[in-house]
């Protein structure tokens, strides 16, 4: 199969007369070196990250290690909150929002720490004398092998540098070769934009040691060390005080090992130097070829699970930056496939078991004090990072996220108690490697005690895909403790029987009736999050057969959550009162959480809410920051409007011209940097991950009682195929092909067995002995149960537009664990 694929590519290469390097479509490539960081190419193994510039005369490799964070173990709760809480609530319930916000600023927001920044380790430079004048330049990142290559000629010699970050061997490897022997000459040095010790060991090893920085009132105390060992074939290697010099070598291999003193969020007493040395010595014992082979095998174990084909046009003959630039005007569906796979590449490279979860920049950051500290913003960004993990068949990448949630559920118990006198655990809108739980940045942004409620959805989602009860049992105490917090924190909303979160915000937005004050109570997103948290906890308890009394208690509170409300313009209300402004184009679309990632809003079951949610999204408009536009791709997919989703894809694949990745700009409207990093601006990786999830969501949905195949196919993708996506209930879409916009072939593998319900706009028939029944009633598969949503409150029915749905066929098929089922167009 692979051979046929390569043959096809090869003939394409011949027909189009492409440069030979395009032997795979999954390459990001350029014909010049990177000048700016957002042109450099990212590699990573979850723990170590590097940005490779590929400059012939002065190679620059910016280095990261995922535990190099400023500060040290600390907490950031503000215990004054407890006394002020009743007054804040009183102010909110009497409409004094500004006064409430002022009081929260004085009494709730952390005084000692707004969270610590993730910091760069520093840079490795390799200067090659005489390489200023080069020809035939080419550099690439191959998504099939996770290797970057730089190639160019100087005076008749072809030089090549290959860089990769190995997970099995925990080092970054840089290999330099030349087409003639004895031609490799360079000097290696290191620096960091803060004081560090740089020394050499023996004649071939460079060592950089440092301590992370201070921030707010917290002193930096994470020690780290980077060791670079250079092995050559032929030539001479020598050292100065702070550099290594290689003369006349045939081949040079650099082993880059980095470690820190971080053990966990409350212990930073490891020996960074010893750790780095252990990794290094282990790698040095293996030969280069073996390290390379193991790296490729390890990476492909994840990456090869999914392949996608949306069509190929001759745009592929252009370098990636040109393709991004021409995307909106041209016809380059393969670039969408490349961006989709780039998101998967980034997740595999930034989130591996045993490491930290992907932060705002994954693991790639060149600064000491990056925008928003490159930490974890949990009112959308961290969650979005993990949207593609299950559906694009990378479940293992969730492990660091789950570990972080586990740790936050420990640290957050004290926050709940000290700040609110409440049970369980709480997290506000941000956290960092120290697992801070207190509110930061100011009441307007930080007074949102819902971080735990949202993160817990990911614990449940993993179960929905793998059906593993042991796993569910292991995370149940975390979910239960999150519920316990809300059971003791909710208060009655005046004039109603409703129980609400108060104080809170609809993330980072304020209604136009009290601009500047976001503080309120019972916002729609909070209610939706609690609805999910409570229903899933009840379900988990039932599956695990425990906690009967607790279930009754949770169920009573669940019944008293406010329903969703449809306001005066036919919109889904963002707040508990009808305060929405149709001109509000805020980037957060928090109240639409109910439509994506949650499944509370459905065209089939809650048509009025569906209509209202869609109206709200139309009001919000398309242009926004990167992550916001990528959220909207997912939302338009859920609204079954592939063409609108495609419009946002086009808006998003737009070359960002201002390559300033250090400053925050809310007005520039997203876009894509030359290296395919998503622009907020600045670079924020959530947009890349949201994009990947969005493409999957356009092709397969499994949130609404069935596996919906091609739910939101845009007209532009007439023919195509995808292999390896996952659906809830342990199903794998082994293959799905479509022609003229209709499913032509579908192969579903069932890992857990049970009823497989398929929704399709195309009439299907089953192959072989399988019988495909027209579905009746509810889907008996427990992973496809739909929660009972409360009837919405509607203030003005006349403003609802009504929805028109294309007819779909719904089939059931009984599956056995391990069975594969083949369908085709009838």
For residues 366 and 684, which CB has a smaller minimum distance to ligand FUC in the complex?
684
Residue of 360, 483, 613, 629 interacting with ligand FUC (CB under 6 A): 360
Run of H or E including 277: helix 272-285
For residues 275 and 587, which CB has a smaller minimum distance to ligand FUC in the complex?
587
Strands (E), 53-112: 58-65
Let me know the angle formed at the C-alpha of 773 by 768 and 775, rounded to the nearest 5 degrees: 145
Q: How far is the CB of 672 from ligand FUC (least distance, A)?
A: 16
Q: What CA–CA distances, in Å, run from 271 to 265, 351, 572, 767, 819?
A: 16, 23, 54, 61, 50
Residue of 625, 672, 701, 781 interacting with ligand FUC (CB under 6 A): 625
Q: In 3-state terms, what secondary structure has residue 709?
A: strand
For residues 170 and 509, which CB has a smaller minimum distance to ligand FUC in the complex?
509
Task: Return the residue matching tokens 């130097």.
Answer: 273
For residues 196 and 629, which CB has a smaller minimum distance to ligand FUC in the complex?
629
Using rule CB under 6 A, residue 691 touches ligand FUC:
no
Run of H or E including 649: helix 642-652
Contact assessment for residue 263 and residue 232, using Cβ atoms and an 8 Å cutoff: no
For residues 347 and 440, which CB has a smaller minimum distance to ligand FUC in the complex?
440
DSSP 447: -
For residues 402 and 679, which CB has a smaller minimum distance to ligand FUC in the complex?
679
Instruction: Give the integer Cα–Cα distance in Å for 396 and 299.
Output: 12
DSSP 790: P
What is the x/- site pattern for ligand FUC, positions 531-570, by CB under 6 A?
----------------------------------------
For residues 360 and 695, which CB has a smaller minimum distance to ligand FUC in the complex?
360
Instruction: Give the integer Cα–Cα distance in Å for 635 and 625.
Output: 15
DSSP 545: T
Q: How far is the CB of 587 from ligand FUC (least distance, A)?
A: 6
Structure tokens at 739: 């022609």
Contact assessment for residue 673 and residue 38, using Cβ atoms and an 8 Å cutoff: yes
Instruction: Give the integer Cα–Cα distance in Å for 257 and 178.
Output: 24
For residues 134 and 677, which CB has a smaller minimum distance to ligand FUC in the complex?
677
Task: Return the residue matching tokens 């139309």.
Answer: 618
Q: How far is the CB of 490 from ligand FUC (least distance, A)?
A: 25
Dihedral sign (CA 733, 6, 341, 460): positive
Q: How far is the CB of 104 from ligand FUC (least distance, A)?
A: 17
Instruction: Give the integer Cα–Cα distance in Å for 58 and 189.
Output: 11
For residues 115 and 452, which CB has a smaller minimum distance to ligand FUC in the complex?
115
Compute how many residues bind ligand FUC; rule: CB under 6 A: 11
Q: How far is the CB of 370 from ligand FUC (least distance, A)?
A: 10
Q: Which of 395, 397, 332 shows the shortest CA–CA distance to 358? A: 397
Q: How far is the CB of 703 from ligand FUC (least distance, A)?
A: 25
Q: How far is the CB of 361 from ligand FUC (least distance, A)?
A: 10
For residues 450 and 554, which CB has a smaller minimum distance to ligand FUC in the complex?
450
Residue of 78, 148, 365, 377 interacting with ligand FUC (CB under 6 A): 377
Instruction: Give the integer Cα–Cα distance in Å for 619 and 622.
Output: 9
For residues 131 and 680, which CB has a smaller minimum distance to ligand FUC in the complex?
680
Instruction: Give the integer Cα–Cα distance in Å for 586 and 596.
Output: 17
Q: How far is the CB of 517 from ligand FUC (least distance, A)?
A: 17
For residues 29 and 372, which CB has a smaller minimum distance to ligand FUC in the complex?
372
Q: How far is the CB of 597 from ligand FUC (least distance, A)?
A: 17
Residue of 299, 340, 372, 420 interacting with ligand FUC (CB under 6 A): 372
For residues 638 and 680, which CB has a smaller minimum distance to ligand FUC in the complex?
680
Structure tokens at 372: 């928003």
Q: How far is the CB of 627 from ligand FUC (least distance, A)?
A: 6
Instruction: Give the integer Cα–Cα distance in Å for 642 and 637.
Output: 6
Dihedral sign (CA 649, 655, 660, 665): negative
Using rule CB under 6 A, residue 508 touches ligand FUC:
yes
Contact assessment for residue 213 and residue 367, using Cβ atoms and an 8 Å cutoff: no
Q: How far is the CB of 350 from ligand FUC (least distance, A)?
A: 16
Q: How far is the CB of 570 from ligand FUC (least distance, A)?
A: 26
Sequence length of the chain is 826
For residues 356 and 684, which CB has a smaller minimum distance to ligand FUC in the complex?
684
DSSP 572: B
For residues 145 and 628, which CB has a smaller minimum distance to ligand FUC in the complex?
628
Instruction: Give the integer Cα–Cα distance in Å for 74 and 64.
Output: 23
User: Which letter, b or e, does each residue of 285-314 get, where b requires 16 or more Cβ atoms within 10 Å of its Cβ?
Assistant: ebeeeebbeebbebbeebbebbebbbbbee
Task: Return the residue matching tokens 């990573």.
Answer: 44
Q: How far is the CB of 668 from ligand FUC (least distance, A)?
A: 12
Residue 785: how many CA atoms within 13 Å on its side-chain side? 11
Structure tokens at 193: 């934009």
For residues 508 and 732, which CB has a smaller minimum distance to ligand FUC in the complex?
508
What is the x/- site pattern for ligand FUC, positions 575-604, by CB under 6 A?
------------xx----------------
Run of H or E including 630: helix 626-638
Q: How far is the CB of 481 from ligand FUC (least distance, A)?
A: 26
Q: Which of 745, 694, 754 shows the shortest CA–CA distance to 720? A: 745
> Prior bond to 368 cis, omega within 30?
no
What is the x/- site pattern for ligand FUC, positions 665-684, by CB under 6 A?
---------------x---x
Dihedral sign (CA 764, 770, 776, 778): negative
Using rule CB under 6 A, residue 383 touches ligand FUC:
no
Using rule CB under 6 A, residue 509 touches ligand FUC:
no
Q: How far is the CB of 351 from ligand FUC (least distance, A)?
A: 18
Using rule CB under 6 A, residue 381 touches ligand FUC:
yes
Q: How far is the CB of 121 from ligand FUC (least distance, A)?
A: 22
Residues between 134 and 193 that touch ligand FUC (CB under 6 A): none
Structure tokens at 650: 């086009």
Contact assessment for residue 302 and residue 293, using Cβ atoms and an 8 Å cutoff: no
Applying CB under 6 A, the residues found at the interface with ligand FUC are: 360, 372, 377, 381, 508, 587-588, 625, 627, 680, 684
């Amino acid at each position: 199969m692979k051979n046929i694929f390569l043959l096809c590519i090869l003939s394409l290469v011949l027909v189009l007369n492409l440069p030979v390097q395009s032997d795979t479509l999954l390459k990001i490539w350029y014909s010049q070196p990177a000048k700016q960081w957002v042109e450099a190419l990212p590699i990573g193994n979850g723990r170590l990250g590097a940005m490779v510039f590929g400059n012939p005369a002065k190679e620059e490799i910016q280095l990261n290690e995922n535990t190099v964070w400023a500060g040290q173990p600390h907490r950031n709760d503000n215990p004054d909150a407890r006394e002020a809480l009743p007054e804040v609530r009183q102010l909110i319930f009497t409409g004094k929002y500004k006064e409430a916000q002022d009081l929260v600023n004085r009494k709730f927001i952390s005084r000692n720490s707004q969270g610590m920044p993730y910091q760069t380790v520093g840079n490795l430079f390799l200067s090659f004398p005489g390489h200023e004048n080069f020809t035939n330049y080419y550099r690439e990142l191959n998504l099939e092998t996770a290797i970057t290559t730089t190639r160019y000629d100087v005076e008749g010699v072809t030089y090549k540098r290959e860089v990769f970050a190995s997970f099995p061997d925990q080092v970054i490897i840089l290999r330099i070769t030349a087409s003639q022997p004895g031609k490799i000459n360079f000097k290696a040095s290191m620096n960091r934009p803060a004081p560090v010790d740089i020394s050499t060991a023996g004649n071939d090893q460079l060592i950089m040691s440092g301590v992370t920085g201070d921030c707010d009132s917290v002193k930096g105390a994470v020690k780290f060390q980077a060791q670079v060992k250079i092995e050559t074939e032929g030539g001479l290697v020598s050292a100065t005080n702070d550099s290594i010099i290689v003369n006349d070598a045939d081949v040079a291999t650099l082993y880059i090992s980095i470690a820190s003193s971080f053990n966990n969020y409350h212990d930073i007493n490891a020996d960074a130097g010893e750790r780095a040395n252990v990794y290094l010595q282990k790698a040095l014992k293996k030969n280069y070829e073996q390290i390379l082979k193991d790296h490729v095998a390890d990476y492909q174990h994840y990456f090869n699970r999914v392949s996608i084909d949306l069509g190929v046009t001759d745009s592929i003959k252009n370098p990636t930056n040109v393709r991004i630039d021409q995307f909106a005007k041209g016809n380059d569906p393969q670039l969408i496939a490349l961006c989709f796979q780039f998101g998967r590449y980034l997740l595999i490279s930034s989130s591996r078991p045993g490491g930290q979860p992907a932060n705002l920049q994954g693991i790639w950051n060149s600064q000491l004090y990056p925008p928003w500290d490159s930490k974890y913003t949990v009112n959308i960004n961290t969650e979005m990072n993990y949207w593609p993990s299950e559906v694009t068949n990378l479940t293992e990448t969730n492990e660091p996220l789950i570990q972080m949630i586990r740790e936050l559920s420990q640290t957050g118990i004290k926050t709940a108690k000290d700040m609110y006198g409440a049970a369980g655990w709480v997290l506000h809108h941000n956290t960092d490697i120290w697992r801070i739980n207190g509110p930061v940045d100011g009441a307007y942004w930080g007074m949102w005690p819902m971080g735990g409620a949202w993160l817990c959805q990911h614990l449940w989602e993993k179960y929905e895909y793998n059906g593993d009860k042991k796993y569910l049992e292991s995370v149940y105490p975390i979910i239960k403790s999150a519920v316990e917090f809300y059971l003791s924190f909710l208060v009655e909303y005046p004039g109603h029987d409703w129980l609400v979160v108060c104080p809170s915000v609809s993330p980072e937005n304020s209604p136009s009736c009290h601009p500047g004050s976001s503080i309120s109570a019972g916002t729609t997103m909070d209610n939706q999050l609690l609805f999910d948290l409570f229903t899933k906890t009840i379900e988990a308890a039932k599956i695990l057969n425990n906690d009967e009394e607790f279930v009754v208690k949770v169920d009573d509170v669940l019944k008293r959550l406010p329903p969703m409300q449809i306001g005066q313009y036919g919109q889904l209300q963002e707040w508990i009162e009808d305060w929405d402004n149709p001109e509000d184009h805020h980037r957060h679309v928090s109240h639409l959480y109910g439509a994506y990632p949650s499944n509370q809003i459905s065209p089939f079951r809650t048509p009025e809410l569906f209509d209202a949610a869609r109206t709200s999204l139309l009001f919000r408009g398309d242009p926004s920051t990167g992550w916001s536009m990528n959220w909207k791709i997912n939302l338009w997919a859920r609204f079954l409007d592939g063409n609108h989703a495609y419009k946002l894809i086009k808006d998003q694949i737009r070359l960002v011209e201002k390559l300033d990745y250090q400053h925050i700009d809310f007005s520039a409207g997203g876009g894509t940097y030359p290296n395919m990093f998503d622009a907020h601006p600045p670079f924020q990786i959530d947009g890349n991950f949201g994009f990947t999830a969005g493409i999957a969501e356009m092709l397969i949905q499994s949130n609404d009682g069935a596996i919906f195949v091609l739910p939101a196919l845009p007209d532009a993708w007439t023919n195509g195929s995808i292999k390896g996506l996952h659906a809830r209930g342990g199903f794998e879409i082994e293959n799905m092909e479509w022609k003229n916009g209709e499913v032509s072939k579908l192969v579903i593998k069932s890992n857990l067995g049970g009823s497989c319900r398929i929704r399709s706009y195309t009439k299907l028939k089953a192959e072989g002995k399988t019988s495909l029944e027209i579905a009746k009633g509810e889907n008996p598969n427990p992973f496809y149960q739909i929660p009972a949503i409360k009837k919405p409150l509607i203030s003005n029915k006349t403003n609802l537009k009504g929805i028109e749905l294309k007819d779909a066929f719904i089939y059931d098929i009984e599956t056995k664990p391990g069975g594969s089922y083949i369908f085709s167009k009838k």
